[in-house]
Structures are given as C-alpha cells and as structure tokens.
Amino acid sequence: MVNSTVFAPWEDPGQTPLIRIENVTKRFGDFTAIDDVSIDIYTREFFALLGPSGCGKTTLMRMLAGFETPSEGRITIDGKDMAGVPPNKRAVNMMFQSYALFPHLTVWDNIAFGLRRDRMDKDRVAARVEEMLKLTQLQKFAKRKPHQISGGQRQRVALARSLAKAPKLLLLDEPLGALDKKLREETQFELMEIQEKTGTTFVIVTHDQEEAMTVASRVAVMNHGKLVQVDTPERIYEAPKSVYVADFIGDVNLIEGLVASVGELAELTWAEGKAPLIGQSGASLKAGDEAVFAIRPEKIAISREEPEARNRVRGKIVDIGYLGNLSVYHVQLPDGSYMKCEVGNRSRVSRRDYTWEDEVWLSWTDTAGLVLPS
Amino acid sequence: MNRISSFNIVSLTLGFAFLYIPMIILVIYSFNESKLVTVWAGFSTKWYGELLRNESFLAAAWVTLKVAFFSSTLATILGTMAAYVMVRRGRFAGRTLFSGMIYAPLVMPEVITGLSLLLLFIAIGLDRGVLTIVLAHTTFAMCYVSVVVSSRLVSFDQSLEEAALDLGSTPFEAFRLVTIPIVAPAVLSGWLLAFTLSLDDLIIASFTSGPSATTLPMKVWSSVRLGVSPEINALSTIFIGIVTVGVLIASVVSKRAISRRQAEELAAES
Ligand SMILES: Nc1ncnc2c1ncn2[C@@H]1O[C@H](COP(=O)(O)OP(=O)(O)OP(=O)(O)O)[C@@H](O)[C@H]1O
Ligand SMILES: [Mg+2]
C-alpha cells in the first residue's frame, strides 16, 4: 500500500463495526454471567477477550456463535440483528477449546464438513479443502483420523475446519491452550499470518495475557461478567485505567497513598517523611483521593549511589530471580513492603553487580509510573 | 500373570459345567438316531431333515424372525430417539417423570406388560397377529435400547454437535452425520439386544398373538407339553448356533468400538 496508515478503525467514527454487542446481559438462573456489556468489533480486527477463569469469556463467544441467547440487549453482526438466528444460519464459525473434531471422519472430511453443508459442488469442495490443508501444512495427514495425529496437528485441523467456510467472523476459544510454549508461539504467528491473508475478523479468548498482547489489535479485559477496559495492547499495558487491569496484565508494583496534587503529573504521598511519588495521572483524580501508584518492574533502575530522579526509594535486596535474559530483584523497603525490579542481562551472570542483602536505590522517571484510583 | 491354582481350575470347571452341560446334552441328543430322547442310538442328522420338512415349525420360525426384525428395528429407532431427548435436550418440564416412565418396563413383570397390551389391543379393536406382537415387542425392547444408547450419549462430547451446527448443519443433519455414526456401535448392540429379547420372548408373545401368528418359542412350548421330541433338540441347537454367532459379532463390534474410543479419548485429552 502506498498510503499505509495504522489499522485503527475504532478511532474512525465513519466506520461501521462488524459486530455490535449492545448492553448485553446473560443470566443463568439468578447468576449473572455477562453484565451489561457493550463492544464494537470491526472488520479485520483480531480482538482478544482476556480475563480470569469464570469471568464470562466463553459465554460471550457462545452468544456470538448462537449457542446461547442474551437475556437482555442486542447483538448485531454485519448490521443484522442476531436474535433468533440459529448457529447454522450465522456467517460465524467457532474453533472450540476442545477442538471438537469429528472422531469418525478423516482430517479431509472434517475440513470438508462445513463446505458440504452449503451444497457446494464436489470440485470446489476439494479445491477449498486442499487450499486449507496447504495453509495449515496438513497435506500429509489428510487421510488420517483425528486420533492418529498429534495435539498440535489436531489444533491446526480445527483451525482449518473453521476457516474453510471463509466466515466473516471466526471465534477462537482458547485455541492454543493445549500447546507447549514453542508450538504456541509458532501458531500465534501462523494465526496472525492467516488473518492477514484471509482478512477474516478474529475474536480470540485467552487466559494468557502474553498471547493477547502478541496477536491482538485490541484487547478487552473482563472481570465478573463486566467489561473493565477495551484498548490496544500497548495502551492496556502502558495506560491501564484501573489497578485491576494494571495488575492483570503483566507484572506491576503497587503502592497505596493519597493524591497530593494533580496537574500535568500527579503526586502521591505514600509514607511519612518521604518525598511524594510522581507519575502520570490516571482517570479523574483530585487531591485528597485515595490512589495507587503503579510502576512496572522493567521501568525501575537499580543503583548503589543515590540517583538524581525524583522518584527514588531505598531498600535491601532480599531475593534475586535469574530468568536468562533478565534478572528480577526483590527489594524490601524500610516500611516492610516489597518492590520488584527487572534488569536486562547484557553480560554473563558471573558479573552480577548486586547480591543478597545489598542496600540499593530504586528509581524511575516522572512519566514511568501511573497514579490510578484505588 | 498369576499361575492358575488347582482351586481356580476346579471352580472354573464347576462354573462352566453348571452353565453349559444342559446345552451340551441338548446338542448331543439333537444328533441322536433314536426317537427316544433319553436313549442314545448312534449319530444321525435326520432330525434336522425332519425339521426342515416340518411346515409348522418353519412357519413359526419365519414369524419369529419377522417379529424380531421389525420389532428390534422399531425399538432401536424409538429407543435411540428417546435416549437422545433424555440426555441431550436438557431439562424440560416433566423430564424426570418421562425418563422414569421409559425405564419402568425394565422392572415390570412381563405378565403385566403382556396383559395390559392385550387389553389395549382389544380396546382399540386391533386384530391380534404378527402386527400386535411386533408392537408389543417394540414396547418392551425399546427401553433396553434406550438404556444402552443413553449410556453412550452421556459420555459423548456435546461440543461435537455444536461444532456441526456451527458449520452449517441443521439439527437433524448434526444428529444424522455426527451423533449417529459415533453412537452407532451402541445403537447396533441395542438392536442386537432387542432382537434376542424378541427372539426368546414367550410370555408377551402368548398374550398378544392371535391364531394366525405363532412364534417359535410358543411352538416349542406347546409341543414340549406333548413330550420332548428330537426335532425340538435340533431346533434348539440351531438357535444356540445363531445366538452364539450373534453374541460373538456383538462382542467383536463393541470391543473394536471400545478400543477405538479409548484411542480417541486419549487423543482428545492430550
Ligand atoms: N449453562 C450454564 N449454566 C449456569 N452457569 C453457567 C453456564 N455456563 C456458564 N456458567 C457460569 O457463567 C460463568 C462464566 O462462564 P464462562 O464459561 O463464560 O467462563 P470463562 O470466562 O470462559 O472461564 P474459563 O476461562 O475458565 O473458560 C461461570 O461462573 C460459569 O459457572
Ligand atoms: Mg472458557
């Protein structure tokens, strides 16, 4: 493309979303699994649903696929109200968490299953299946039954099967949950590549926040059936709107205190006789509010001499974790609380500068931390 | 493997003897030359020949096979559908009552089942004959089929059906293309069970048949009352043969289905 712009249809008011979830609530008996959720998802997005177990991710997906009906609210896909439309009449395909491959059919027939339901003629079915087999590198396994292939191969069959019909919307419910880390990362990139090639809109459910950060154009963080924040992965990570999101995505140090002043930057008093901490001001805070200072471990510098930065605390190293590419220092502050600080390992371990029981300074810049409402 | 102790050999022998000696004696005497059932007079297959010329036995055999085939097929269709609704369609009003009612005939004394069916057929003015026996056998075999099939359905991953729907099948297509092939071994063993149940039923058939239709068990029963003939022994031997073959096929089918399912489940877990 000549005029390549950043993909961000959600910022363009002229775009109409592919999926509109409007004030949807889902109750099972008197238990509310989804609580007044509204999301717009745009064509070609890779939209990730993230949240702790039982927060309602699968339920939301099942409503999109048509296996559950909302108790309240409305779901429209491509402008059509989905109320009363059964799963087999929706241009939506779902890749199940358990893969749900048909055990009595070969890989080939599994992939062809959906195409045959459309009364597509034989040659076109065959051509499409071959195309899918090639895309997922499964040509060699076409004649096998699902129990004769490996877990990763099964996962690709499930993907090929759900992609075969070229749905407008593909729902992936923890598609990579069963894979080991390496295969998982490979498949994530494969997924993104497929998404780019086919232009399908993906909604992916995941437990794994790293996965969400890797693949998604936007991430929705859920908790107890409610939507907590919807944003790009970068913003979710760099500018979480609540302590919950900051804590859920990645590692974070949290320090409680009172807002001293708000302006360009906010100041937070956190301990008697200590200089206030300075950070970017989160949503709608005013002086005197209780708040939490959030700072990511990798944004903290560690030193023996007192640093220049305004944000600095002194403490003692109580634990060191060596993670290969980086080291994590657990530092105990005089008030007894702990902070984590990550430092990249550019040189060999033997040249580690700090060790247990060392007195050190931790410091970070004025814009590295966030002051969030508690 | 444990060594087989002499105690085990004795108990095994006793058990098998208890089970099979009556049948072995019957088989041996079916090849007896003599007309007297209790006196051995040399080997002969003449009673099998006699049997083939005995019109009334052949007619009864034909009725029995017809009844067994149609009733077991009907029972399999109805029982599978009932099992499907019970296991799959969630909680609907009266589900507990309904499932209780399906399984009740399992414990109902056959005399009562037979009698109530007889009264029903009289009440609605249905002429008793092959049709009424088929209906009666369907009624009581259906609950056995639904027990066998529903035990398979319970362990069946429901997301398979959802996947079929998701890929554009109608609910009926999902049932036909996914559910049925996967539960087929259970359906087949249900059918075999219904078939054998119908084959050897005497009581219900006696209640619900008319003068035009006599099943083999009824025929055997009535002729034995006039004295055991070697022909009956021959007939019974043939029956034992058929049932043995049937049981062997059923066990091979279900064994293969089980080992395949284990492989599939193992695969699904990984
Ligand atoms: N059919 C149902 N009947 C009653 N409660 C249900 C039903 N389905 C889901 N729930 C409840 O709704 C809540 C949300 O379930 P859901 O499966 O959507 O969670 P999830 O976010 O997908 O969790 P996980 O990450 O563990 O898969 C859970 O508390 C669950 O117990
Ligand atoms: Mg889930």
Q: Is the pLDDT of residue B50 over 80?
A: yes
Residues A295 and A359 in one domain: yes
Domain annotation covers residue B40? no
Same domain, A201 and A331: no
Task: Using DSSP, state whether A225 is helix, strand or coil.
Answer: coil
Q: Mean per-residue pLDDT for A247-261?
A: 89
Alpha helices in A239-343 (DSSP H): 243-248
**Residue of higher predicted confidence among B212 and B112:** B112
A273 and A361 co-located in one domain: yes
For residue B205, give the CATH number of its domain: 1.10.3720.10
Q: How far is A303 from chain B (nearest CA, A)?
A: 47
On the question of pLDDT at A16 being above 80, the answer is yes
Task: Determine, yes or no, domain membership for A304.
Answer: yes
**Residue A330: which CATH number?**
2.40.50.140
Residue B5 lies in a domain: no
Q: Is residue B185 part of a domain?
A: yes
Q: Which domain holds residue A267?
A: 251-373
pLDDT of res. A94: 92
Q: What is the pLDDT of residues B226-239, one digit of tens each?
A: 877 788 888 888 88
Residue A112 lies in a domain: no
Q: Which atom of ligand 1 is nearest to the CA of A52?
A: 25
ipTM for this prediction: 0.79
Q: Which two tokens stand for residue B213?
A: 């239709």
CB contact under 8 A, A113 and B270: no
CA distance A13 to A3: 20
In-domain check, residue B147:
yes
Query: Count of A–B CB contacts within 8 Å?
Result: 78
Residues A301 and A183 grouped into a single domain: no
Interatomic CA distance for residues A31 and A47, integer angstroms: 26
Same domain, A228 and A357: no
Give the count of domains, chain B. 1
CB A270 within 8 A of CB A335: no
Contact flag A151-B270 (C-beta cutoff 8 Å): yes
* B164 to A86: CB separation less than 8 angstroms, yes or no: no
- Rounded to an integer, what distance in angstroms lies between the CA atom of residue B228 and that of residue B30? 11
User: Is there a single domain that holds both residue A172 and residue A262?
Assistant: no
Last residue of a domain, one of A193, A222, A243: A243
> Which positions in chain B touch A149 (Cβ < 8 Å)?
267
Cβ-based neighbour number of residue A63 at 10 Å: 23
| CA atoms of B261 and B270, how far apart (whole Å) | 14
CA of A58 to the centre of ligand 2 (A): 4
Is position A137 within any domain? no
Residue A206 lies in a domain: yes
Quick one: A216 and A270 in the same domain? Answer: no
Q: How far apart are CA B11 and CA A90, in angstroms?
A: 64
Phi then psi for A22, rounded to 5 degrees? -115, 115
Q: Are residues A215 and A260 in the same domain?
A: no
Note down the domain range covering B72.
54-229
Q: What is the DSSP letter of A338?
A: E
Percent of chain B with pLDDT over 90: 17
A275 occurs within a structural domain: yes
Q: Note whether residue B19 is domain-resident.
A: no
pLDDT at A351: 52
CA distance A273 to A166: 63
Q: Does residue B37 sit within a domain?
A: no
Looking at A216, A243, A270, the residue that finishes a domain is: A243
Query: CATH number of the domain that A188 lies in?
Result: 3.40.50.300
- Boundary of a domain, candidates A224, A243, A262: A243
| pLDDT band, very low/low/confident/very high, at A1 (cuts 50, 70, 90) | very low
Q: pLDDT tens digit string along A325-357? A: 888 999 998 888 899 999 887 765 545 678 888
Question: In angstroms, what CA-CA distances link A42 with A18, A167, B247?
Answer: 5, 14, 60
Give the Å distance between the CA of A173 and the centre of ligand 2. 7
User: Taking residues A316-331, what's their average pLDDT?
Assistant: 89
Flag whether A97 is in a domain: no
Report pLDDT digits (tens) over A96-152: 888 899 999 999 999 999 999 988 889 999 999 999 898 888 999 999 999 899 888
Same domain, A293 and A318: yes
CA atoms in the 13 A half-sphere facing the CB of A17? 15
Q: Are residues A84 and A172 in the same domain?
A: yes
Does some domain include residue A110? no
Q: Which residues pair with A230 in a beta bridge?
A: A220
Whether A55 and A188 share a structural domain: yes
Could you tell me the pLDDT band of residue A3, with boundaries at 50, 70 and 90? very low
pLDDT in tens, A82-105: 998 999 999 899 998 888 999 999
How far are the Cα atoms of B82, B113, B143, B151, B253 from residue B76, in angstroms, in the given order? 10, 19, 9, 14, 17
Domain count for chain A, please give it. 2
| B99: pLDDT strictly greater than 70 | yes
pLDDT > 80? residue B258: no
My answer on whether A214 and A287 are in the same domain is no
Mutate which of A62, A63, A77, A102 to disrupt the B interface (most B C-beta within 10 Å)?
A: A102
Instruction: For residue A229, report the distance from its CA to the centre of ligand 2, in Å.
Output: 19
Residue A114 inside a domain? The answer is no
Print the SS3 string covering chain B: CCCCCHHHHHHHHHHHHHHHHHHHHHHHHHCECCCCCCCCCCECCHHHHHHHHCHHHHHHHHHHHHHHHHHHHHHHHHHHHHHHHHHHCCCCCCHHHHHHHHHHHHHCCHHHHHHHHHHHHHHCCCCCCHHHHHHHHHHHHHHHHHHHHHHHHHCCCCHHHHHHHHCCCCHHHHHHHHHHHHHHHHHHHHHHHHHHHHHCCCHHHHHHCCCCCCCHHHHHHHHHCCCCCHHHHHHHHHHHHHHHHHHHHHHHHHHHHHHHHHHHHHHHHC
Look at residue B236 and tell me if it is in a domain: no
**Cα three-residue angle B170-B172-B175, rounded to 5 degrees:** 115
